[in-house]
Amino acid sequence: MPGCRDAPLEYTEVRRINESIDELELLKYLEIIKSLPDERPPEFPQVYTPPAEWSHTRQLPVKDLVDDELKQIHERWDVDYLAKKLNKNKVLIRQLKAFRVTPQQFAGYTLTLGAAYGRAMLRDNQELRVVIEDGNREIDRLMRVETPFANLPDDEKYAKLKQAAWLTRQNRAEQLSQVPLDNVKLVRRYIEELKKSLPQQFLMNPLDDVADLLLEKGLPFEVIDSSSLEDDITWDPDNALFGYDKPDIEKPTVDEIAKKDLSPTVDLLPDSESIE
């Protein structure tokens, strides 16, 4: 419950995503959110950043672009960075003081619970270890490219941007891999309350919107060898299948048509109407 606002805080430890969070801390977080206008979470800085979108005119070498991108991605998980952004929300800061919680602590609660929620949303086939290892390998390849991005051919730019998605993908997997399983179990117990209390960005499977569908779902089709090409298709009448379904309307055969007298004819009137 809110206490004296002017007394110095005795407990200022910040919870990290790799640390267990207890039920009392979770309940305190929920109480803070309920005390805010409309009992809704405050606007929270974007933590799950989208994949890189480098302008085609960027003159920095690819490896430098990668380095800058990684710094920005890691910064979004820094509680001091997040606290500076949250300090602009006067209503939130007033309530945090009433609950004797610092902006850094609130950011830590949100990250810890949000990451645990995200891990709880993972599917069984989404192996974090595999994503991290694949990501490290792709990032290492990008870090070796010293050519300025603007100097690359268009197809190479596209390929490098597609490869750069691993920066985001690997980071998310790495963050989620640090979440204690006890936190996941706790979040699952309070899943309905957290759906109303966590910022929207955390209410999802964090790997889905950055997934490489071609890798995850597989190729839609595959040409196995040249024998499947049109140029190599042959027709053998001995192996052909012929249909014998009777047509809806019987038509004369070519031979029957040839036997008919196709010269103009005059229809004869019935005998009763003949011309005398």
For the residues of 212-246, what is the DSSP string, one character each? -HHHHH--S----SGGGSGGG----GGG-----PP
Higher pLDDT, 49 or 259: 49
Q: Which pLDDT band, with edges at 50, 70 and 90, does 275 fall under?
A: very low
Higher pLDDT, 246 or 62: 62
Per-residue pLDDT of 23-51, as tens digits, reads 999 999 999 999 999 999 999 999 999 99
CA dihedral 205, 209, 212, 214 (to 10 degrees): 100
pLDDT per position as a tens digit, 170-185: 999 999 999 999 999 9
Domain ranges of the chain: 23-217
State the amino acid at position 118 in one-letter form. Answer: G
- If one compares 235 and 100, the residue with the highest pLDDT of the two is 100
Taking only the tens place, the pLDDT of each residue in 186-226 is 999 999 999 999 999 999 999 999 988 665 555 444 444 44
pLDDT of the residue at 12: 80
Residues 12/85, Cβ–Cβ less than 8 Å: no
pLDDT of residue 212: 82
Mean pLDDT, range 130-149, rounded to an integer: 97
Kindly give, in sequence order, each residue whose CB lies less than 8 Å from that of residue 140, ignoring residues fewer than 6 positions away.
Answer: none
Coil, strand, or helix at residue 158?
A: helix
pTM of the entire structure? 0.74
Q: Sorting pLDDT into bands at 50, 70 and 90, what band is 266?
A: very low
| Contact partners, residue 17, CB within 8 Å, separation at least 6 | 77, 111, 112, 115, 116, 175, 178, 179
Q: Is the pLDDT of residue 258 over 80?
A: no
Q: Is the pLDDT of residue 230 over 80?
A: no
